[in-house]
Amino acid sequence: MANPFQDPLRFERRVPPCAIVIFGANGDLTKRKLIPALYRLAYERRLPPGFAIIGNSRTGMSDDSFRDKMKEALQEFLEDTPFDERLWTDFCQNLFYFAGDLHDPDTYTQLAARLEEVRVARHTDDNVLFYLSTQPSHYEAAIHGIGYAKLQRGRGWRRIVVEKPFGHDLATARALNAKLQDVFEEQQIYRIDHYLGKETVQNVLAFRFGNGIFEPLWNRRYISQIQITAAESIGVEGRGGYYQEAGALRDMIQNHLLQVMSTIAMEPPAVFEPDVVRDERAKVLRSIRIIKPEDAPMYSVAGQYGPARIGNEDVPGFRQEQGVDPNAQTDTYSAVTFYIDNWRWADVPIYIRSGKHLPKRVTDIAIFFNPAPHSPFQGLEAGVVPTSPNMLILRIQPDEGISLRFLSKHPGEGMRLRNVSMDFNYGASFGARSPSAYETLLVDVMLGDATLYTRQDMVDASWAAVQPILDYRERHPVNFPNYPAGSWGPQESDEMLARNGHAWRIP
Amino acid sequence: MEAAVRPERILKDLRGLWVDLGKDEPAGVLRACAMTLVVVVEEERDAAAIGETIASFIHEHPSRAIVLRVRAGDESALSARVFAQCWMPFGSRQQICCEQVEIISSVASFADATSVLRGLVVPDLPVVVYCPSEALWPTPEFLDLLPLCSKVIVDSHAMERAPSALSYLQSLSRTAGFRKADLMWARITPWREAIAQIFEDPARMRCAFDLEEIQILYRSDLGEPSSVYYLAGWFMSVLGAGVKIRIAPGVGPEYAGIAHVTITGPKIKATVDLTTSDTVDVSVNGEHLQMTVFPPATETDALRQELAIANRDTRFEDALGLGQLMYQGGQP
């Protein structure tokens, strides 16, 4: 039975009544992302009247203190949206808090009681979303506790959102999954990868499968290489302690960028339904060529930034950052050549790089097309035909958009050709504010739409793809630092592409 | 002698405009266009206000905006000028620009102006005609424009006898290829959303199918606003003709002309009550359910919403048909 008053053309999708339990409610993610996204949804009138947020952490706090804290966070981290005191007054009535140690069974007994209270008081229909926003080391305790108190089942739906990292490697990812599946069914588990919630990543699907002209070219016959770049211009910004345990390969490539790659390389789904889309993504990830650990130097490069002067500022090297081991072997830069062994992509190198303290902040995907099989302009005049291929660039951030580079005749005499760019700029065509990735993904999980969430087989496959590189690096320390902050990474990275006759483009 | 106003001349001026803009900006400018937007207004209407309205939504709906200002009088002269609306997106080094054409005609030369318009539409993109000036709607020149367009938008907000807008829109040929819209319908979207929200709850949703009476209280200095008939038509299209709809004047603040809605059935009495000019309190069976802040109900916001609807809006068409019947002869 559907609500007869709904108007999908003009109304936003409506989420059902529910309660969100945030474990780690005193943490950074809650303050910077979750509460601003939920407030923004309230501002857009997208939250149901029957709605509650129950925060948990170990810090003792009353509901009112929690509300005050969240108000402060909102005022600090809310972007693109004014803080409305009246809306806050109503919104904060939905916020509740209880202190409890995740390792203490009593915490979950208390939680069950709070859930029952809000079900009655806030009409949440016993629909509950658990959000693991804690340190990953507490995941297991929280999952176990939910199972202990049998909170994974109720009269309404029960779902759990798990933040990355999903494990530290393949083995720990599988162990975490086993714990999750001891308590929850797979369809209740939502593994969040906020990159998939980005509008521009979703637009890749629209671009590929909504248009008829690109897909026939989208294969090894016409495409010579793909480059995916996720560059940050900043360093670890006080998160050195955390980051030195992760590194670029684990923090960016294994999850975000392999998900982006799967979006670029997947086959067209028959229908836009969660499992159909995820099946296609999973197939791509499972088709990634698994290299032998000893071949890792051929296919990957690790880098770590050293001190440098950028502009008029001295920038410390990674090992000089606060909380970082002076001998850390952390990769603040990683570049990997992947191959997808299927008919569509056989032998097409897909280069992925991600790093900190690179010259600019940019995330994009460049598709390089083969040159024309024969150019009638060759030899007309020396140097008139540039050698650069046609290129399609999908810009994820900033300046979100799509550019197609092709050759055009230079005005004037003779057949002199020059590269020109045809640009689509997201901001120019759709000036409206795009929802943040967290807004999109929170609405999706409350609606039970898992299209933009990752599945365990996808997580396994992406860990399996990088595991040989991790194994090799574990046994072969690198002489870090090997690139100065503010450069495009170590020279070995250029050499990796040069072996295939390719070069990194400068985004 | 005045220069002739011809489409090719204006198009040439537009080309020159882009060349000049490109010269002035080291990074060049980006031309954005997703539709032709034709705004037809009487000259009395504040020129600056129209310009500001277009400027405020053009970045969301980049268009070749053609403003046709029709002034009283029988002079045959026609004048035109071109210019660009540019903005620098945050963090970008390149300006984005949309072109704008302003044509001034008299009532006598209105037909000449519409003939110029035909040559100015951007090929292969939608053409939207917006005419807030009620006096121009029945003119043959305006009606002559309609076959050009994919969507015609009117605004009955400030009209006397506003509900007559429903009759006008209904009278436009059903078989024509364009879609029709009234910004008043866009203005009541927050009301409809707040009402729909009540019935998201499964138990209350069951009550939606046997509602008996809807009361809509309006507040307007110009008599009944068209919004009440749109809302009434919407209720009828959703609930069927069996539901009794009462429209009456009310007190207190109004939003899009509406002050209060009460929905009554055997097991439910829901009220959506405007407590300030933009805040509604939703209650069900005497219990507070939700407070909602409505967005501004300005012409700009309504246009922004309407321009985003590219497809046929069957909800509006149904509400228009039933609302008009109710306006003409009471409840159908």
Model confidence pLDDT, tens digit, residues B95-111: 788 899 999 988 888 88
Using a CB-CB distance cutoff of 8 angstroms, which residues of chain B are in contact with residue A447?
none
What interface predicted TM-score (ipTM) does this complex get?
0.86
The verdict on a CB contact (< 8 Å) between A4 and B291 is no
Which is higher by pLDDT, B62 or B233? B233
In chain A, % of residues over pLDDT 70: 96
Q: Please report the pLDDT score of residue A391 as a whole number.
A: 92
The verdict on a CB contact (< 8 Å) between B202 and A431 is no
Just list the catalytic residues of A.
256
Work out the average pLDDT over A387-398. 84
Q: Please report the pLDDT score of residue A429 as a whole number.
A: 62
| pLDDT bracket for residue A96 (50, 70, 90) | very high
Which is higher by pLDDT, A460 or B171? A460
Is the pTM above the cut of 0.90? no
For A123-266, where are the alpha helices, taking DSSP H only? Answer: 139-148, 170-183, 199-210, 240-246, 248, 258-265
User: How distant, in Å, are the alpha carbons of A19, A426, A482, B58 from that of B128?
Assistant: 43, 22, 58, 13
Work out the average pLDDT over A376-383. 61
Q: Please report the pLDDT score of residue A378 as a whole number.
A: 66
Two tokens, residue A209: 């499968």
The verdict on a CB contact (< 8 Å) between A430 and B60 is yes
ω before A165 within 30° of 0 (cis)? Answer: yes
Residue A83 has pLDDT above 60, yes or no: yes
ω before A269 within 30° of 0 (cis)? Answer: no
Lowest-confidence region among A4-8, A378-382, B41-45: A378-382
The neighbour count for residue A176, using CB atoms within 10 Å, is 22
Using a CB-CB distance cutoff of 8 angstroms, which residues of chain B are in contact with residue A11?
189, 192-193, 196
B294-323 residues touching A, CB cutoff 8 A: 305, 308-309, 311, 313, 315
Residue A87 near chain B (CB below 8 Å): yes
Per-residue pLDDT of A444-482, as tens digits, reads: 999 988 888 889 999 999 999 999 999 999 999 999 999
The verdict on a CB contact (< 8 Å) between B196 and A7 is yes
According to DSSP, the residues that pair with A228 across neighbouring strands are A352, A365
Using a CB-CB distance cutoff of 8 angstroms, which residues of chain A are in contact with residue B193?
10-11, 45
Class of residue B11 by CB neighbours under 10 A (exposed 0-12, middle 13-18, buried 19+) = middle
Per-residue pLDDT of B265-315, as tens digits, reads: 999 999 999 998 888 999 999 988 888 888 888 899 999 899 988 878 999
B152 three-class SS: strand
Q: How far apart are CA A307 and CA A280, in angstroms?
A: 43
A463-502 residues touching B, CB cutoff 8 A: none
Residue of B nearest to A124 (CA): B201
Residue A216 near chain B (CB below 8 Å): no
Per-residue pLDDT of B246-277, as tens digits, reads: 999 998 899 999 999 999 999 999 999 999 88
Q: How far apart are CA B123 and CA B103, in angstroms?
A: 20
**Residue of A10, A39, A424 for testing the chain B interface, max B β-carbons within 10 Å:** A10
Residue A210 near chain B (CB below 8 Å): no
Residue A5 near chain B (CB below 8 Å): yes
Indicate the average pLDDT of chain B. 87
